[in-house]
């Protein structure tokens, strides 16, 4: 019997760590010392998965070096478009190599040769020996050319897809070739924007594959250009040398001088002590437990600082603690009565609902878990039908008790579910998700993660109870089964499994609350949490529950008009282009504007090699070219129709006939509210076409009007108050138009001499300064109407006129460098980990954030405080007016006509006095039969 083939895995180190870094770019992983370990974690996870599932016999990790290669000598612009490696990533690279060596896996580097060439060389050597199956571990498409009968690509999976192994048949199918070597020719024509390899202009992926399928190679194509037509023939013939150069550049070399034998990369025993030490150093608790099981001790117990990591010992599970989890079945009236009595005696308790889905409007409650002591919890079964309704009713007074603090994780969901079923949950509240979002906004906030990070505890996984994860919707199937099964045993998880899962959630959340309460105190953000965010939860729940009415007939009319405009703009663009093309294709738009019409000499390109046709690029050309103006108008009309006019009717909930958006309190770093399902924050206001969408938002009935209460220039007023600039303060106190005043000062003209163009420029400067705008940025914002030199002069003059603004910004940046964070007027913090970065671009971005956050964050705090106060005002009596929406600096209400004279002044006053500023706060109120008319 022949020996099993050896399994050689060659890892493309740089490609894998870049992939891991950007996969976690929106939710990076940090240690307690604020060291970014995203790439290290992702790479290690990929390596562990490979070791666990693929049983390699030989393994090596190959890295690029900083030395130039033969490709750079051949083509100096090779990879010339690449940005410098992100600082966070470059700092992790040495640790990746340390970790690889701790696994006793060779790290291979060959100066003057790329990792691709080294991997190609080793793969060819292994193939020549005849007893290896080789797997090139990489997400890079270039490696397709190396695939043979015994050499394959191992492409690590992403979150939405599993690992993919690409063999010869798969490569030929994907690339539409008969031999993987032909992928070199496809890439030579197509080019590779990531490596700045030009290819042939006008030939993309599909065309390249088609041409190589027909001609076999680039050489075959160049020998038969007489069979090509039109622009394609012209492009190929004009770029013969470039095509051959590109083919050379994409060809992976297989003769690199790699001085390592296969016996040296045979997989041996790992260095467990070194690995444990590294996993402790980088706080990889879950990976450590995965690799070492119960033998692994997390580093979280060894930290010498009072940080998240220092608060938790090694990871434990539910089996490691003595616990008192009580389960109350639906028929146990006595136990429920005892529970209610105990809850009534408490000053604080945690609760968590188990539901059939994540849709608050339609879900059903199947149980409630309570906890008020560590390792203690009680679960109450809530069956379907009248029996469950009666059980929930028993808890009505408990939830409505305003003397007891209710704790939860993402309380808005639980409170919303109860409100849709007719129950009120009274304040005070403490939400652990909101608390953690304040003290560590860049980290993940899910309960399971916090349990591990703060408690050193691994909760029961969703999958362990419900099977395949379906965002809790799997419980719906269980609940349906329970309803249909009657007294028979359901096919889904049993009662005790659900009860243990729910009790643990409540217990863990109770424990997290104690830790996070202290962390919030340490960061001096207690007032932000307790005074703003937690009181806002029931306000948002009520607004979501109320929803807003939308008139489908108005939207249909808008849709017809927009459809006509879209057709008109499309016809006009085609006429100007002299041909028809797909206006929704960026590639075709770019080819028409820049290849056919030659609007500019050197158009910019994207990283994928296409011409840039984004809004900013086209807006800069719009003043000189009618086709561009029509194209932009087409895009706006098409977006309005698809995003709003066609989509909003589908968002109307049949049960109420209204749209119920979902608000998010801390999704943005400055604390501004966001919304989705649908996103009503982005309902257009700037253009005439966009404003018409607001006409479809109407009052609930003929007894109501829509009221819009909008802060006027609130961020500029906040800036004036924070920087205490005398001239700016005086302008607001005199109720001058701040943009006209700024224009008069900057351009040295009397107030009555300010033109509309001057005011527009001044407005751009006023708001741009808040974001640290540069002369280049200001010139761009003004569509090039002002040169960069003139823009610089305007900015300098602005700071001469308002010196307090410049002084405030400089002091803020200096303080941020020292503290590592900035604060709003209320004390909300934003951490700035890059404020002292050695990379100038990264540091500048952090400085702009430092300048903007105190202003934008204070404005966000202000409207949140106003919402809480207005909600309290509307609860004073049985008013029929309801708060519906918060959109940027605006609150929208269903205003009862009979309450108009009484409530408008009171709402305006509550908003004005939300935060004390040194300048007057102005609130503009308007009413109308629709949202547009209310402005």
Domain range annotation of the chain: 6-264, 271-311, 318-547, 549-659, 724-853
Evaluate if residue 834 carries a pLDDT over 80: yes
Cα–Cα distance for residue pair 285/279, rounded to 1 Å: 7
For the beta carbon of residue 489, count every other beta carbon within 10 angstroms. 8
Cα–Cα distance for residue pair 616/673, rounded to 1 Å: 26
- DSSP bridge partners of 550: 697
The stretch 42-63 carries a mean pLDDT of 93
The pLDDT assigned to 1 comes to 44
Question: What are the DSSP E strand ranges found in 317-418?
Answer: 324-328, 348-355, 365-373, 376-381, 405-408
381 or 285: which leads in pLDDT:
381
Cα–Cα distance for residue pair 712/731, rounded to 1 Å: 14
Tokens of 617: 């690029």
Cα–Cα distance for residue pair 420/172, rounded to 1 Å: 55
How sure is the predictor about 283, in pLDDT bands with cuts at 50, 70 and 90?
confident
Q: Let me know if domain 6-264 sits in CATH 3.40.50.300.
A: no
372 and 352 in contact (C-beta within 8 Å)?
no
877 or 5: which leads in pLDDT:
877
Q: For the domain with range 318-547, which CATH number is right: 3.40.50.670, 3.40.50.1700, 3.30.420.10, 3.30.465.10?
A: 3.30.420.10
Evaluate if residue 570 carries a pLDDT over 90: yes
Residues contacting 825, CB < 8 A, separation 6+: 718, 721, 722, 854, 858, 861, 915
Tokens of 19: 């992939």
Cβ-defined contacts of 256-264 (< 8 Å, 24+): 256/110, 256/113, 256/117, 256/118, 256/120, 256/121, 257/110, 257/113, 258/108, 258/110, 258/118, 258/121, 258/122, 260/60, 260/106, 260/108, 262/6, 262/8, 262/58, 262/125, 262/126, 262/129, 262/132, 264/106
- DSSP bridge partners of 548: 659
The pLDDT assigned to 474 comes to 33
First-residue to last-residue Cα distance in the chain: 84
282 and 95 in contact (C-beta within 8 Å)?
yes
The pLDDT assigned to 295 comes to 62
Among the residue ranges 70-74, 345-349, 574-578, the one predicted with the least confidence is: 70-74
The pLDDT assigned to 567 comes to 96
154 and 165 in contact (C-beta within 8 Å)?
yes
Evaluate if residue 486 carries a pLDDT over 50: no
For the beta carbon of residue 873, count every other beta carbon within 10 angstroms. 17
Q: Let me know if domain 549-659 sits in CATH 1.20.1060.10.
A: yes
How sure is the predictor about 80, in pLDDT bands with cuts at 50, 70 and 90?
confident
Burial 45-60 (b: 16+ CB within 10 A, else e): bbbeebbeeeebbbbb
Among the residue ranges 15-19, 147-151, 343-347, 482-486, the one predicted with the least confidence is: 482-486
Cα–Cα distance for residue pair 198/207, rounded to 1 Å: 15
Write the CA distances from 449 to 29, 304, 582, integer angstroms. 11, 22, 46
Residues contacting 17, CB < 8 A, separation 6+: 39, 40, 42, 43, 89, 92, 93, 96
Q: Which residue has the tokens 């057709």?
A: 567
pTM for this predicted structure: 0.75
What's the alpha-carbon Rg for the chain, to the nearest Å? 32
Q: Round the average pLDDT of the chain to a whole number and report it.
A: 89
Cα–Cα distance for residue pair 246/481, rounded to 1 Å: 61
User: Residue 440: which of 37, 818, 28 has the closest Cα?
Assistant: 28
The pLDDT assigned to 608 comes to 65
Alpha helix (H) residue ranges in 704-802: 714-723, 726-733, 738-747, 756-770, 775-781, 788-801
How sure is the predictor about 304, in pLDDT bands with cuts at 50, 70 and 90?
very low
User: Residue 279: which of 40, 541, 457 has the closest Cα?
Assistant: 40
How sure is the predictor about 302, in pLDDT bands with cuts at 50, 70 and 90?
very low
Host H or E run for residue 663 = strand 662-664
How sure is the predictor about 303, in pLDDT bands with cuts at 50, 70 and 90?
very low
Cα–Cα distance for residue pair 573/485, rounded to 1 Å: 63
- Greatest mean pLDDT range, 400-404, 494-498, 596-600, 784-788: 400-404
Beta strands 548-550 and 674-676 are unpaired
DSSP-derived letter for residue 457 is B
CATH number for the domain whose boundaries are 724-853:
1.10.150.20
User: Crossing angle, helix 714-723 and helix 840-874, to 10 degrees?
Assistant: 110
Evaluate if residue 904 carries a pLDDT over 60: yes
Task: Identify the three-state secondary structure at position 758.
Answer: helix
CA 39 to chain CA centroid, Å, is 18
671 or 480: which leads in pLDDT:
671
């Amino acid at each position: 019997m022949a020996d099993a083939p050896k399994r050689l895995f060659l890892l493309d180190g740089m490609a894998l760590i870049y992939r891991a870094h950007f996969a976690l770019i929106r939710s990076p992983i940090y240690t307690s010392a604020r060291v970014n370990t995203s790439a290290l974690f992702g790479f290690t996870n990929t390596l562990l998965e490979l070791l666990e599932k693929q049983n390699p016999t030989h393994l090596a990790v190959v890295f690029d070096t900083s030395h130039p290669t033969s490709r750079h000598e051949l083509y100096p612009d090779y990879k010339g478009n690449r940005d410098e490696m992100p600082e966070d990533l470059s700092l992790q690279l040495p640790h990746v190599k340390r970790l690889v060596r701790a696994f006793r896996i060779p790290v291979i580097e060959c100066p003057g040769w790329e990792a691709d060439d080294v991997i190609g060389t080793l793969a060819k050597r292994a193939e020549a020996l005849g007893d290896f199956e080789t797997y090139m571990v990489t997400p890079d498409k270039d490696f397709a050319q190396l695939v043979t009968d015994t050499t394959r690509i191992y492409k690590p999976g992403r979150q939405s897809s599993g690992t993919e192994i690409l063999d010869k048949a798969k490569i030929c199918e994907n690339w539409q070739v008969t031999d993987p070597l032909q992928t070199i020719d496809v890439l030579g024509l197509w080019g590779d924007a990531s490596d700045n390899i030009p290819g042939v202009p006008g030939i993309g992926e599909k065309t390249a594959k088609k041409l190589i399928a027909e001609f076999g190679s680039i050489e075959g194509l160049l020998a038969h250009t007489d069979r090509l037509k039109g622009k394609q023939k012209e492009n190929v013939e004009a770029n013969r040398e470039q095509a051959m150069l590109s083919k050379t550049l994409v060809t992976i070399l297989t003769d690199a001088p790699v001085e390592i034998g296969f016996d040296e990369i045979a997989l041996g025993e790992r260095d467990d002590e070194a690995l444990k030490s590294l996993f402790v150093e980088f706080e990889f608790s879950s990976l450590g437990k995965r690799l070492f099981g119960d033998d692994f001790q997390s580093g979280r117990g060894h930290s010498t600082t009072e940080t998240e990591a220092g608060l938790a010992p090694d990871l434990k599970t539910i089996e490691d603690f003595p616990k008192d989890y009580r389960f109350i079945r639906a028929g146990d009236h006595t136990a429920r009565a005892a529970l209610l009595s105990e809850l009534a005696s408490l000053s604080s308790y945690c609760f968590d609902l188990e539901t059939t889905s994540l849709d608050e409007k339609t879900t059903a409650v199947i149980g409630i878990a309570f906890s008020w002591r560590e390792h203690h919890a009680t679960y109450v079964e809530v069956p379907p039908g009248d029996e469950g309704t009666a059980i929930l009713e028993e808890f009505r007074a408990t939830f409505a008790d305003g003397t007891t603090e209710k704790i939860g994780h993402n309380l808005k969901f639980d409170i919303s579910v109860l409100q849709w079923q007719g129950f009120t949950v009274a304040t005070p509240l403490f939400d652990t998700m909101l608390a953690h979002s304040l003290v560590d906004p860049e980290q993940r906030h899910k309960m399971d993660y916090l349990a591990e990070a703060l408690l050193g505890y691994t909760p029961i996984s969703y999958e362990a109870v419900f099977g395949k994860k379906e965002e809790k919707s799997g419980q719906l199937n269980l609940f349906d089964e329970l309803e249909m099964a009657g007294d028979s045993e359901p096919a889904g998880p049993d009662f005790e499994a659900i009860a243990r899962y729910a009790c643990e959630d409540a217990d863990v959340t109770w424990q997290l609350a104690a830790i996070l309460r202290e962390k919030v105190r340490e960061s001096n953000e207690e007032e932000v949490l307790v005074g703003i965010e937690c009181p806002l939860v029931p306000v948002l729940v009520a607004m979501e529950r109320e929803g807003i009415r939308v008139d489908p007939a108005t939207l249909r009319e808008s849709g017809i008009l927009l459809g006509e405009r879209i057709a008109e703009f499309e016809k006009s663009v085609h006429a100007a282009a002299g041909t028809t093309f797909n206006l929704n294709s960026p590639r075709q738009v770019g080819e028409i504007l820049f290849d056919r019409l030659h609007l500019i000499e050197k158009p910019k390109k994207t990283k994928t090699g296409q011409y840039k046709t984004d809004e900013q690029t086209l807006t800069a050309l719009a003043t000189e070219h009618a086709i561009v103006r029509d194209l932009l108008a087409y895009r706006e009309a098409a977006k309005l129709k698809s995003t709003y006019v066609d989509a909003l009717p589908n968002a109307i909930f049949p049960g109420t006939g209204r749209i119920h958006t979902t608000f998010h309190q801390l999704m943005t770093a400055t604390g501004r509210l966001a919304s989705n399902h649908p996103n009503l924050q982005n309902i257009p206001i700037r253009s005439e076409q966009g404003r018409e969408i607001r006409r479809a938002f109407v009052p609930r009935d003929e007894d109501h009007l829509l009221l819009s209460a909008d802060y006027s220039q609130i961020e500029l007023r906040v800036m004036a108050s924070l920087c205490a600039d005398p001239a700016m303060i005086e302008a607001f106190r005199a109720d001058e138009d701040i943009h006209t005043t700024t224009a008069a000062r900057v351009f040295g003209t009397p107030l009555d001499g300010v033109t509309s163009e001057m005011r527009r420029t001044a407005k751009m400067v006023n708001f741009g300064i808040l974001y640290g705008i540069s002369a280049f940025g200001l010139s761009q914002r003004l569509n090039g109407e002002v040169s960069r030199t003139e823009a610089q002069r305007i900015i300098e003059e602005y700071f001469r006129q308002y010196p307090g603004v410049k002084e405030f910004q400089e002091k803020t940046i200096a303080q941020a460098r020292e503290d590592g964070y900035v604060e709003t007027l209320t004390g909300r913090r934003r951490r700035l980990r890059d404020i002292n970065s050695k990379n100038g671009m990264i540091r500048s971005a952090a400085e702009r954030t430092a300048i903007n956050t105190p202003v934008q964050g204070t404005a966000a705090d202000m409207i949140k405080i106003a919402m809480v106060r207005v909600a309290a005002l509307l609860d004073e009596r049985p008013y029929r007016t309801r708060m519906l929406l918060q959109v940027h600096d605006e609150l929208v209400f269903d205003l009862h006509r009979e309450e108009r004279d009484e409530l408008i002044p009171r709402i305006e006053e509550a908003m004005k006095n939300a935060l004390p500023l040194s300048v007057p706060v102005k609130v503009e109120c308007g009413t109308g039969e629709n949202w547009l008319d209310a402005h």
